[in-house]
Each structure stands twice: as structure tokens, then as C-alpha cells.
Structure 1
């Protein structure tokens, strides 16, 4: 998904869930920040680099693809963008342990991990809520792809067709993938930029949905392809339907975080809250355009009476830099960092506990004490402070 949904649609969902304009803005900005918070940014601010929630293309080009490098990549992308759907899944065919570990990282919505993700944000900051909403939304947009480099799992070959509406109903149009990142995607001719094919299982080119380009990120696209992990059985990916589910599930989840709903359960969507604006939502989701920001922003203004401005990253960075050391955790970015560290720690631990080492090792603080990366001591210190209050 792009900023149009992660920031502005999330803002709309928060308004419908009962948050104020100011609270909803923080939730929307925090959701978008997940796509902005890189090690490069954190290093510039002298902030904990382990809180990185994404990686720049230049960072990925320099990334190692040995086991240590792959674990680092997986911790970021599986935690925030490709939440595993079933850490104990069993493929139909016999396979190696290496393949099984990657297969179990395939993203899908309504998983046990999304329950843990939303519950983790309960009682925390709006920044934590925004992070959870980003992860939840991406489980719909990025389903069937994995947050670890894998040619077998993530590759899309020549059999990829966009399903478009015509006067004669739905017709197939072959997707023309190209590798020029400077050329804008051209939906009118189903021409989309993707990563270059590289015959290496662990190539960065096969991370997430890189081989599918931005097809999963556009709300209007409906397409089908043949993934190797599904024994080349055709998969149809209906983005408008999936994005609508994501929107209504965000409302339901945010009502849980506000305390309106007593629990968060998988497979539940608050369509009732969305019903008054359902025509607007469907219109936006089916409009063929590369950026729906203006439409979602206008819908947000209609709902709240306020206009949500663009996120001011410079202001966020300055607030963090200007804060005293003992006050940095109270800034927008400080609260975001705490939420990001908590989410990454939880997902990494769950992957490790399943017997899968692709996200690295995880140690239970309560039983073995702190033996991890120094950045994560923030979480332990906060737990200790809470106990003493």
C-alpha cells in the first residue's frame, strides 16, 4: 500500500472509530511513518537504529545476503509489511527445511500474529496504534508474498494478467513488466515497473512483492498469476475487495484499542460504521489512478471537518533532536520508536519460537535476563517502570 491508504484512509478509519482529529492525525502519520523510518534516518538523529521499519533501496543494495544479513532483512519486512499468516503451515508437497521456513513466512490476513499485533498496541500510544494499522492493512495488500528474499515464494513470471472492466464485462489484459524505475506505471496499458529477474533464491530482487512491482499497492488493480509455492495454481488478487476489508477491519481494531470493543477477533469487520460512506469508499477503491491521496483526504475532511495536511518529517525530526535525552521518548518519534521496537521484538520472538531461525534468535527476558541488542533495553526498562508504579 502507498501513503494514500496508509495515512489518509487510516485517518478516516480512526475518525469512524471515534478518535478525535488530533488523535486520528497521529495514527495516520504513524502508519505512514512505517514506510519512512529507515536506518539512514535514525542514524542521522542518533536514534536507535534497531527501530528501523523499512529499508531504502540504497540500503538494500548494500545489504548482505548471508544468514546474518537475511535475518536482519526478515526482521524488518516480516514484522511490519509482510506479517506471516501461519508460522506452522504445512505445504502439500514434501520439502526441505529451508523452503519450509520461507513458506511459513507467507503473508496472509486474519492470522494469530495480527491478533497479537493489535493487542500489543492496546493501552499504548497513538503511534503504536498507527504501526498496528499499517501492519494490519499490509496483510491484505501483501498477502501471498513473504517478507524475506525468496525467488520460489515471491517470483511472478510471464503468466500475469490484469482483470479490467470493459463494455463486455471483465477481460484479461497481459501485464507488461519493465525494469525502468524512472518510468511511471501506466495502468491504461497494464505497464508496470518491477524488479529484475535474478536466478538466485536469496536475491534482494525477490524480496516481498518486488517481482510484482506496485500491483499489490494500487487499490484499483485486480490481477492473477501463478505462484510456484502454490504448485502453479492460479491466484486471483482482488485489491478493491481486499482494501475494503482492510478498511473495515481497521475500524473494528481501532474501536478495540479505544476500549469500545471488548476484544479483537479475527475475521470481523465494522461495515456498519463504514456504511454511510460506503459509496465514497467503493468509488475511491475502483478509480484507476496511481495516487488516491486527494480523494481520501477529501473524505477525511467530510468526516471530521478538518483537513489532514502532509506529514512534516522535518518537524518530527527536529522535535526529537531538540528534546533533552530524558524527554526524547515523549516526542512523536520517540513514541514511534518504542512502538516499533515492541512490534519487531514480538514478531521476531514468535518466528523464533516456531522453530524458524530466518528472523534470527530471540531470548525471553523474563527467564534469561537481557542478552539482546542494546536498543531493545528500552522495552525492558519501560516494563520495569510500569511494575514499580
Structure 2
């Protein structure tokens, strides 16, 4: 199906990126999954080829490309596996904070390295006792002269081990009422005194994506690393979450497409009772149902992308898409594994990895329960809140 936001240049870019992935990533991906880490050398190779943050202004090393290129990178990385999430996180979530709220000095200091792959980004929101309720975070940043002293812990941080720049969500005014007005964003660099990384967390899926705990014990950070203004961090987070959730929508529908492709191929070749499984009516109906929902979801995602690229507000629509598409991907994963039979439970079949990778998307970037709460509020169902 033709996508209105893609031009011939986008298609050429996709072919180049796919060729790169076939040469540099796919042959090594299983090993990286076992090692629970993508090598740093891949970041530099991605940067050399222009596959990191192509949307960044040319003065910082980018191409000033439109969001359509982000979409292509997200889709092609997802087709390889969710363990490649760290690149999309860097491209589409972390670096946009630097671009949107960073000073000119900060952009000149950090953006070229983000484009080249010399600097890897992460964002630290979640804490051991705090997830979706950002106003309840306990990590503090106390100003002392020309520095902030940061204390607290973060967990479930993607790129936590490999990152060089971490956008830390913290309280610069713990006494603020309401609490979200005291939140600020401060960039913590790799070798900051008082900053350490905890253990690399062992997840059910997305194994090549490093995820860790971060610990701040009187971490000393220059005031020049404050992003934007003190007390505005919560509003910055809310502004950027549209794009983050859109990325989840794109990845989820791509996962569903990959899984049905794998399963359609499998049922055509797997024989039972002397005929391919694809000849059984139950198989035909299951795949027909999934294919229909995926087609509907694809049209919706393309609409979201087009609206976002034209500057439209998609808070309500992307909240709807985020919960429905991540749930769709989970349903497709379960049905596709079932159609694979016992082989679907074997690690040598890629559907097993997809089955493990998919569920977390309904939790991160705001859980699906939070999405439904946002939708309800925008429908006027929460009274005077």
C-alpha cells in the first residue's frame, strides 16, 4: 500500500538501510541476543552511514531529514528484532529532548556525537517505586553553586549500560505543590562523579537491548547540563510523549506484519494429515482475521504519521493507537505461536523470540491503562480533573 508521506528518496534510503542491516546486523543478531548487548562498534557504523538521527540539522552532522526517515529506520530495525530498540530510543526519544530544549552550547557539545555514534543516549524516568506516576519520583537534584547534587535510583533504563548521555528526570524542588511543578531534566554524562550503573537486568525478551539500574549518590553535575528551565521538566516530557508513543505504534504494527508473514510461510509448508496446514479452514480463518486487523491498524498508523508530520496534535489518537496496536501485536503473537504448534515453542523458530519481545510494549511509554485513562479524560469522563 502506498504511503503518502514517503517519496522516492525515502525508498532509496530504505533499500540502503536494509542492505546495511543484512550485512552488519542480521548475521550477528543471534549472538548479540545471547550476549545481551549490541556492540558499541555498531553504533559507530550506523553513524558513519547516516542512520543515526538523520533529522538533525546539518550544522550538527545530520541531514535535516523529515520524520519519514525515522519511520523507515524504526520499521527496519523492528523487522530484525526488538533487541534493536536502543537505536530508535536514541534517534526518536532521547536526542529530540536535546534538540527541543537544549541551549546552543549544549547542542554544539552533544549533537554531533549523537549523530556519529560516539555518544549514546538514554532517558531515566522510572524508579524502583515509581513508574507512570512521574510526579511521585524521589530522585532529587539540589543546587550548590555551579553544580547540582543528584541523589536517587532509576531502573528499567534502556541503553543503561551503553549510554554516554542520560536525560535524568529529577526533583529540583521537592516541596513544589503539585509535585510535577518541581520536576526538571538534567543531562548526566558517563564519567560523572557519584554516578554508577547497577546490574544489567535480565529480561524475558528484547535480550540484545541492554537495560539496567542507575544509581546517583551525591552525583555532581554542572548547572550547564540543565535542559531548558528548572521546574518545566514534566511539561517537556508530556510534549515529547506523542512521538514516543507514535514510535511504539509503528513498531507494534511492524511486529504484527512480520509475525503473520512468518506464520503464513510456515503453514504453507508444514503438512499434517497429508496436506499443508494452510488448507485447514481454521488456519485460513485465523490468518484472515489477523490480516484484516493488521490492515486496519496499518491505515490508522499511516494516518497518525501523516498528522504528526503536518504538525497536528495526536495526543488522543496516539493514546488510542498505542493501547490497541500493542494489544493487537500480543494477540497476533499468541495466535501465530499456536499455528506453529510445538515448533513455535522452540527457540530456533523466530516466532518464539517475537512472542517474548512483544508484551512489554503495552507497559512502556505509558502503560495501556494510562492510555485508557488519557482517552477517558479527553472524552470528558473524568469530571473536573
Both structures adopt the same fold (TM-score exceeding 0.5): no
Higher relative contact order structure (alpha carbons within 8 Å, sequence separation ≥ 6): 1
TM-score by length of 1: 0.28
Higher Cα radius of gyration: 2
